Amino acid sequence: MQLTVNIGFQALAYASVLYLMAVGLSVTLGLMGFINLAHSVFAMTGGYLAAIACGNYGFPWYAALVAAPVFVGLIAAGIERALYARLYGRDELDQVLFCIGFIFITGALARMAFGPLQRPIALPNELATTISAASFTFSTYKIFVIAIGALTALVVLFSLERTRFGSMVRAAVENRGMAESVGLRTTLIFTCTFAIGGALAAIGGIIGADLFPINPSYAFDTLVYVQIVVAVAGLGTLRGSFISALMIGLIQTVSGYFFPEYGTILLFLAIFLFLFLRPQGLFGRPGVN
C-alpha cells in the first residue's frame, strides 16, 4: 500500500513535468507536420531565465514561474515566424537537421552566457519541506508540481473543448485543408499555439529543474524523453499527452524502484515494442503519419 502510494506519487510528479515539456510538441507535429526535436530548448530557456532572475536578481520564485514562461512564449512566437515557418512542408531530413543545429546554437549560447555549471533554481522555503500524513511523507514541492501539471492539463483540455480558439486549433490539427477552406487563418493559429507550447515547456523547465537540471546540454539530455511522450500519445491528438507522460513516468519509476539496473533498457524496449505494435500511438488515427 505504502509502496504503491509512494511510487504513484513519484510517477505523477515525473509525468507532470514531462507533460508540460511535451504538450506543445504534439501541436507542432499535428498542425504543421513539423518534427521539432528542439522543443526542449524552450524548457531550457525558461529554466535559465528563472534561475538568473531568482539567483542573481532576487526575483521571487512565484513571479519567475509566471513571468519567465510569458517571456519564453514571446520568444517562441518570434522564432516560429522567423525560422520554423521556413521549413514547413519540407522533408523530415531538413527539419531534423534544423532542430539539431538549433539545439547546438542554444546550447553554445547558454554555455557562453551562463557557464558550464548547472544552474540551481532555489525554491521558496515553504516548498522545500515535507508533509507527513499517517505513515506517508510527501515533498511539498512535488505536490505543487503535480498540482500545476494537473491544472495545466485541465486548462488545456477545457480550452480545446470549450473555447472558440480551442475549436479552431482542433479543426486545424484534424484537417488543415478543410480548416483553411472555411477561412481559418492557420498561420496565426499556429504561431499562437507554438508560443503557448513554448510557454508551457518553460513552466516544465522551471518546476522540473530538479529532475532535469538546467545546464547547457539540457536540450539534448531531455530530447528523447520529450519526443517519446508525443510518439506514444499519437499524432493528430492533443489529449493523449498526459496519459502517455503518465505511462512513461510509471515505467521510469517502477523500473527504477524494482530493477534499478535495467530501468533504461526496460523503458526503451517498452517504447520500441509499443510503437512497433501501434505506430499510430495511443490515441492517434491510423494512417496519420
Partner 1 sequence: MYQSRLTRRSITKALFATPMILSSRIALAADPVKVGLIFTTSGPFASSGDLMAKAAALFMKHKAPALLSGQKIEIIQRDDGGPNPEVAKRLVQELIVRDRVQFIGGIQWTPNAFAIGPLLTQSKTPCVLMNAGTSSIVRSSPFFARTSHTIWQSCYPLGQWAARNKIGKAYTLVTDFAGGHDAETGFTKGFTEAGGSVVAAVRMPIQNPNFAPLLQRVRDTKPDALFVFHPGGTQTAAFIKTYAEIGLANDGIRLIGPGDLTSDEELPSVGPIAKGIITAHHYSVAGDRPANKEFLALWHQEYGASLRPNYMSVGVWDGMRVIATTIAANKGNGDPDAAMETIKKYRDDNSPRGPISIDPQTRDIVQNEYIREVRIVNGEPYNVELETIPAVKDPWKSFNPA
Partner 2 sequence: MSAAAFNTFLDNKHRLSWWELTPFLVLAILPFVARDYLPLATQIIIYIIFTLSLDLLVGYAGIVTLGHAVFFGIGAYTAGIISVRGGWGEGLSGLLISATISGAAGVLFGSVVLRTARFTLLMLTLSAVFLANEIANKASWITGGVDGLSGIDIWPLFGIFAFDMFGITGFIYALAALLVVWIFMRWLVHSPFGQSIAAIRDNRSRAAAIGIAVLPRLVVVYGISCAIAGFAGALQTQVIQFVGLKAASFELSADVLIMLAIGGAGRIYGAFLGPVIYLAAQDYFAKDDPVLWQLWLGLIVMAVATFARGGLMALLRRTAASSAK
Binding site for partner 2 (CB under 8 A): 29, 35, 83, 86-87, 91-98, 100-109, 111-112, 220, 223-224, 227-228, 231, 235, 261-262, 264-265, 268-269, 271-272, 275-276, 279-280, 289
Q: Are residues 248 and 15 in contact, defined by beta-carbon separation less than 8 angstroms? A: yes
Answer for which of 60, 78, 115, 124 binds partner 1 (CB under 8 A) is 115
Q: Which is nearer to partner 2, 93 or 182 (CB)?
A: 93
By C-alpha distance, which of 41, 148, 125, 20 is closest to 84? 41
CB neighbours of 281 closer than 8 A, spacing ≥ 6?
A: 230, 231, 232, 233, 234, 235, 237, 240, 244, 275
C-alpha dihedral (174, 158, 182, 76), degrees to nearest 10? -80
DSSP 232: H
In the bound state with partner 1, the residue whose beta carbon lies nearer, of 218 and 242, is 218
Q: From the CB of 208, what's the least distance to partner 1, in Å? A: 10
By CB under 8 A, the residues from 129 to 168 that bind partner 1 are 130, 137, 139, 141-142
Q: Which of 17, 18, 23, 14 is nearest to 156 (CA)?
A: 23
List the single partner that 229 binds among partner 2, partner 1, none, CB under 5 to 8 Å by kind. none
The answer to whether the CB of 241 falls within 8 A of the CB of 22 is yes
- Return residues touching partner 1 (CB under 8 A): 3, 6-7, 10, 13-14, 111, 115-120, 122, 128, 130, 137, 139, 141-142, 210-213, 215-217, 221-222, 225, 252-258, 260-261, 263-264
